[in-house]
Structures are given as C-alpha cells and as structure tokens.
Amino acid sequence: MIANIKDKATLRAEALARRDTLTTTERELKSRAIAERAVAIVANLQPDVVAAYMPIWSEVDPRGIIAWAHDRGIAVALPTIHAPYDLIFRLHRPGDELEAHRFGTLAPRADASIAYPDVIVAPVIAFDRTGTRLGYGRGFYDRAIAALAARGRRPTIIGVAFSVQEASAIPAEPHDQKLDWIVTEKETIAPNRRPPETTRQ
C-alpha cells in the first residue's frame, strides 16, 4: 500500500508538471478541442443532468461543454464540497451566482438544488488507458460516484485531460472509480472495451 501511495504521488507530480508546461493559449485551444469531443459523447448519451466543474489552475476548461448543455436545455450541475470530505452536485443555471469554495474552486450557492447527474465530466491529473484516474488525492470524486451508484444508477464518467497527462500505468485500488471515457485534444478513448477503442483526428 505504501509503495502504491508513493507511486501515485510521483505520477501526480509528474503529470502536473507536464500540464503546467502548456501555455495559456495552448490550454485554451486544446480545451476547445476536448469540449468538441466530449460533447459528441454527451449528445449520444442524452442525459437529463450533466455535471462538470469550473476550472482551477491549469486544468482543462470544460465551460464549452457547460455552454453546449445550457443551450440545449440539459440541466447542468457543479460540484461542491459538503461536510469535510464529501462532494455533492448542485444545479447551476446561466446567470446563477457562484461563490468561492474550498481549494480555490467556484461552486453554486448552498441554496441551489442538489442534483443527481447521469453524466459527470471529471477533472483529471493523470490517466492511463485502463481508465484509472488520478485526481488531487482526496478521493472526492470516487466517493461521490460510489454514493450515486448506491442510489441505483452509476453515472457515466468522462475524464477530460490534455494528452501530456497520460501515464503508462497507474496503480489501481478497490475504491477507485474507473473512467468510462477519456477525452484529450487528440483522442477519445473508451477503456472499458478490450482492446481500448480510440478515435483520432
């Protein structure tokens, strides 16, 4: 277990360093390409509620996905940290005020309705082609997805990342929630298929 934690910490640091080498312009252009690819998946799934996030630091910017969903009348939810270690999703409508939250994030106000998304667009620090995802190491998304699954319907998880964030292999643990799709500016990867299915432009 200790070796796995060290491995994950190293992989996380390396992926963040690679991500941070991208310029602001590169991140903007690549985020647009990622949004276009992700939208194609979401459109095919026809969800009632899509969860995404407001980007921080050098993350992929998914606001193109959010705008697309709003334009089509699909409900959008954003994550908010509830209690010390739990993450829930609250509805966000165009024009709704967002407030500063933990770790520098922006989240809906506490009076916004709780939502149960059919699709979650999740931030990624590192990924591999088996669908294993590294986040910031606090397990918020893993617990939130497990809680949604316990309600009887696990959402489809789309991880969005720049291609430089790929790792050859990430140690997986029993609580890790696998990605159903991985979208980069170069590829759409479906790791639950054997062998992993990819589409390139």
Is the pLDDT reported for residue 3 higher than 60?
Answer: no
- In order, the DSSP letters of 116-168 are --SEEEEE-SEE-TT--EE-SSS-HHHHHHHHHHHTT-PPEEEEE--GGGB-S
Is the pLDDT reported for residue 4 higher than 90?
Answer: no
Share of the chain above pLDDT 90, in %: 83
Share of the chain above pLDDT 70, in %: 93
pLDDT band, very low/low/confident/very high, at 192 (cuts 50, 70, 90): confident
| Residue 197 confidence (pLDDT) | 52
User: What is the average pLDDT across 69-73?
Assistant: 98
pLDDT tens digits along 85-103: 799 999 999 999 999 987 7
| Residue 103 confidence (pLDDT) | 78
Tell me the Cα Rg of the chain: 16
The CA distance from 70 to 49, in Å, is 10
| Residue 199 confidence (pLDDT) | 58
The CA distance from 201 to 193, in Å, is 20
What six digits make up the tokens of 141? 């998304």
pLDDT band, very low/low/confident/very high, at 63 (cuts 50, 70, 90): very high
- Residues with Cβ within 8 Å of residue 153, at least 6 apart in sequence: 116, 118
Decide which of 12 and 7 is more confident.
12
Is the pLDDT reported for residue 201 higher than 60?
Answer: no
Q: How deeply is 44 buried, as exposed, middle or buried, from its count of CB atoms within 10 A (0-12, 13-18, 19+)?
A: exposed
> Structural domains in the chain?
2-200 (3.40.50.10420)
